[in-house]
Amino acid sequence: ALVGQIDETVTGFFDIDEPVYLIEFWLSKAVHALNSRPEYFPPPRYPDARHDLAIIVPEDVRSGDIVDFVCAHRSGDVLCEAELFDEYRGAGLPPNMKSLGLAVRYRSRNRTLKDKDVLKCRKSLLNRLEKDYGAVLRN
């Protein structure tokens, strides 16, 4: 889902003086969840490593696509999960770009990860994000 405030130039065009917000739901995912059988997933045997990641992407890139991409990323036996915690547009960014803040979790089903495993996966992920979405790491 996406939630956000409609830009004032758009609401002003329709003579709306109050803030307007939009919520977009992807019902196909909800319907799929309703039609699927519940599954049991045992708690992980090995701890995850958590890192925040801030990337800059073109404004037309959907944040949900980035989250899905990160969750599908694999590097050897290292799995990734991600949650979006921030989306920013404005000062300090190049024109027509936005910043996405992601909380990324790295985990293996077979072992406890070492720092080098996480860094290798992170580097691989950033390279793929750059190639597929034009993403760059935000400083």
pLDDT tens-place string over residues 52-66: 999 999 999 999 999
Are 88 and 132 in a shared domain? Answer: yes
pLDDT above 80 for 29: no
Are 115 and 75 in a shared domain? Answer: yes
pLDDT above 80 for 2: no
pTM for the structure as a whole: 0.69
> Averaged over 15-42, what is the pLDDT?
79
Q: Which domain holds residue 107?
A: 46-139
Are 55 and 30 in a shared domain? Answer: no
How would you class 39 by CB atoms within 10 Å of its CB: exposed for 0-12, middle for 13-18, buried for 19 or more?
Answer: exposed
Look at residue 23 in the predicted model and tell me its pLDDT.
87
How many domains does the chain fold into? Answer: 2
- Written as one string, the DSSP assignment of the chain is -EEEEPPHHHHHHTT--S--EEEE--HHHHHHHHHSPP---PPPSS--EEEEEEEEEETTS-HHHHHHHHHH-EETTEEEEEEEEEEE-STTS-TTEEEEEEEEEEEESSSPPPHHHHHHHHHHHHHHHHHHH--EE--
Are 60 and 95 in a shared domain? Answer: yes
Are 17 and 58 in a shared domain? Answer: no
Are 19 and 56 in a shared domain? Answer: no
